[in-house]
Structure 1
Amino acid sequence: MIETYDEALSFIHGRTQFKKIPTLKRMRRFLAELGNPQEGLNYIHVTGTNGKGSTVAMMRSALLESGLTVGSFTSPFITRFNERIEYNNIPISDEDLLRMVQKIAPIVKKLDVELATGGPTEFEIDTAIMFCYMAEKKPDVVLLEVGIGGLYDSTNVIKPVVSVITTVGWDHMKYLGNTISKIATQKAGIIKTKVPVVIGNLPEEARTTIRKDAQKKSSPVFELDEDFSVRKLNGHHLHSKVQYQGKKIKALEVTLGLLGEYQVENAAIALMTIELFMTKMGLSIDRRALIEGLEHTSWPGRLEEVNTTPLVLLDGAHNLPGIQALVKTIKKDFADREVYLLVAILADKQYELMLGELASLGNVHLTVTHFAGPGPKRPSADLGAAVDSIPTKYPVQVVNDWQLGIGQVASQMSEEDVMIITGSLYFISDVRKLFLN
């Protein structure tokens, strides 16, 4: 019997993470046993290699400012599991989480016995908890972030009001395929018949795949730089001031609360999605609420400032496209400053290519380190061995203990310099506790 919050978490985390054959049949059966809690709610469904979390955070903030009640489901968490399931920006309480686990545990046990492949995975259980919680709370809208891919993701059992594909790049190739086209096919799996889809700036191969899929399903596509646009109005500023042009919203100017170059496009995607959602729901669009919402958005671990002098930023860039976006920000906003990077990356990522991108910058001082990783099956990569073959302007430092690494890097910096700690959201989660305790 599960009687405490800790037992509930152990139950969730004790489940298998993946099954050999991807399918939604098990998830549909699981939800049917629970009385289909996912039905009867309005969803915005978001996938993408990067940018999902930031786009959801901006939409949540702007929709709350617009007077709506908002549920959200995001991953991974930075500090506590509860952050993944939120209602009106407040994480699910320990009591509610325990209650939801107590509700679903007997069903999981039953399916373990009845299904040939065994019962639900960890993420399917997370998703079911969220659906049960949202069925009780009944928010005006649920912002639903995909776990991995889209087509076979356990969130893909709903018909949303709007679908969103932020970016398509290299990540999770073991599960999604080893070409951009294959990865895009998985992401396009969230597109539903006649449901509009908002897409960001995608590689041509991904764009073609997604447009074809949308055409087959008679789903209107709203593409960045084709149907809506954004431009940055201030040059080398971490807080980007942008002007957005949409369908109904014209020349909306806002200074973004989230730092970094890559948030400019995420903001445009968030605004276009809100336009479509509000229009489809017959709700009026309040420009002031959108501006307030985007100005006050916060999202832990995404170029998050944890120290001012010298400036220390945490960035959860955890794959090649994420690191490329960070490189763009460093080039644009820190070209005139020395940047000290402390990097740790999981061994199942393209860590050599990621390090190569960071090392290519002339003003970067690179220190690589190690952290515990989320579990024994996903260790931190040995970056010390990887950096030997990477050409850099300054010698790369290797420090095995990341806490010592922070101290060592800090001792080399002046007040004008910048420290960025990056490479993995799990790493950032550990570091954040140190800075914010």
Structure 2
Amino acid sequence: MNYLEALKYLYFKRPYGKIKIGLYRIKELLELLNNPQEKYKKYHVTGSNGKGSTTTFLHYVLKNNYKVGGYLSPHLSTILERFPINGKHVSREVFLKAFDKVKSVAEILDKKGLDFAPSFFEFATAMAFEIGKEENVDFSTIEVGLGGRFDATNVIIPEASIITSISLEHTKILGNSLEKIAFEKAGIIKNGKPVIISSLPKEAKKVIYEVAKQKNSKVFELGKDFNFEIVDYKFNENIINYYGDKTIKNIKIKLNGTHQPINAALAIKALEITNNLNDDAIYKGFKDAFIPGRFEMFKGIVFDGSHNPESAEKFSENLKLYFKEKEKVAVFGILDDKDKENVIKKLVPQLSHTIVTCPPSHRATNCRETYEIVKKHINSCEYIENPLEALEKLNSIDVDLKIVTGSFYLVGYIRSYLEHGVINEEFELMRR
């Protein structure tokens, strides 16, 4: 198979977005691959928000002294983004080599019946572990896809586990209370391995400590066992001091937002307690760490995937922090299965105008409903169904700050178009 044929196989043979509960498929799949995930050291990160940033921070710091692989999800423009090696995504050649190997063993499981057929995410997870082995990495930084306990990544024994935040999300799958969601995320805690947590809601924290006690895992809690202080917030150059077993001052963080110092402190503590803390690597890693589409200024537009109430609240808070006095206009679109009302309520009041559009996904068919909700919370808005036409309208408006936000599908689609001038075939395939 060539690259696009491999993607078609993944997205249609292994249905994209279809969740399969249980770890027995991924365990058997990895056994057939001779357990590539056991060939290197790992860090494991979960959380309702912040897990991608924390995973990225770990990756960028470690790569200054080691060869580092990883696994991230979702991706914006190319599936290759899911498989970073030293801060850059893998080549198509490396991707295809791992794909072919995983496909050969996945199809052995297919013959056992539908319950054993690996899902898209399980297949991709096995690829990430295989790529790490083939690339001879020293470490791999692994982001949980959903929850923790039954996530396909939860077959690893990490140096440390990190829980960045806990809020109500994916309630149909993870449970309808903070306690239930905390229990699912606590599933990544491993026997005798430390767990680092942020300042969590008390109901969630109680569950984490109970699970950690059962696993004989020491808990390191932000605000109790380590901390940070803000020196300065400046777009693309935020500065913090870290206080743990040692003090590291004036760390410059490229990633923006009031939540990033929290994620940074979690990553530093994980490195500190596993004896991988190096001051020079810290300074360089945080200065360089980057994630496209996460409060990022690109081609004169701020991009951010604010797709749930907590991330929308953070984005709104950060807009006030960095661009308080600027008039703001946004292109906004969100999937039908998201909490539209609460995302919109937190996001749009500070906008002078909102252009509601339809994210390029089969999960966004009721975009008129989104528009009707936006109208309740802002006086000036319009509906333009096509995202590229919405972008054209945004660019025609003379305003201080232009924004694209909401669904990552929308953010990735428009950002990719601005970067390449076209929507490439892979992107179209990925989003349908």
The equivalent of 1:262 in structure 2 is 259
The equivalent of 1:358 in structure 2 is 347
The equivalent of 1:403 in structure 2 is 388
CA RMSD of aligned residues (A): 2.0
Q: Determine if contact 1:239/1:260 at 8 Å carries over to the other structure.
A: no
SS at match of 1:233: strand
The equivalent of 2:423 in structure 1 is none
SS at match of 2:63: helix
Deviation digits for residues 102-148 of structure 1, max 9, x if unmatched?
22223222211214614111100001111111122231111011111
Alignment of structure 1 residues 25-424 onto 2, 5 Å: 25-65=24-64, 67-115=65-113, 117-234=115-232, 237=235, 239-248=237-246, 250-277=247-274, 279=275, 283=276, 285-308=277-300, 312-361=301-350, 364-373=352-361, 376-377=362-363, 379=365, 381-382=367-368, 383-388=370-375, 390-392=376-378, 394-414=379-399, 417-424=400-407
- In structure 1, what residue type is equivalent to 2:309? L
Paired with 1:296 and 1:49, the residues of 2 have a C-alpha distance of 24
Paired with 2:341 and 2:363, the residues of 1 have a C-alpha distance of 20
CA 1:377–1:337 in structure 2 vs 1: closer, same or farther (change >3 Å)? Answer: closer
1:17 deviation in Å? 4.6
Q: Which runs of 5+ in 2 are unaligned?
A: 421-432
Please give the TM-score of this superposition, normalised by the length of structure 2: 0.91
Q: Determine if contact 1:238/1:261 at 8 Å carries over to the other structure.
A: no
Deviation digits for residues 296-347 of structure 1, max 9, x if unmatched?
2111111111134xxx211122212111111111232222221222211111
Higher share in helix? 2
Paired with 2:25 and 2:349, the residues of 1 have a C-alpha distance of 46
1:380 deviation in Å? 6.4
Q: Determine if contact 2:334/2:364 at 8 Å carries over to the other structure.
A: no
1:357 deviation in Å? 0.7
Paired with 1:18 and 1:434, the residues of 2 have a C-alpha distance of 23
Question: How many residues get paired?
Answer: 418
SS at match of 2:385: strand
- In structure 2, what residue type is equivalent to 1:302? R
Paired with 2:44 and 2:29, the residues of 1 have a C-alpha distance of 20
SS at match of 1:182: helix
The equivalent of 2:5 in structure 1 is 7
SS at match of 2:377: coil
SS at match of 1:198: strand
CA 1:338–1:188 in structure 2 vs 1: closer, same or farther (change >3 Å)? Answer: same
1:171 deviation in Å? 2.1
Paired with 1:317 and 1:371, the residues of 2 have a C-alpha distance of 13
Please give the TM-score of this superposition, normalised by the length of structure 1: 0.90
Paired with 1:232 and 1:318, the residues of 2 have a C-alpha distance of 27
Paired with 1:254 and 1:37, the residues of 2 have a C-alpha distance of 35
SS at match of 2:111: helix
Deviation digits for residues 54-110 of structure 1, max 9, x if unmatched?
112222111112x11111100111111111112222322212222222222232222
Identity %: 32
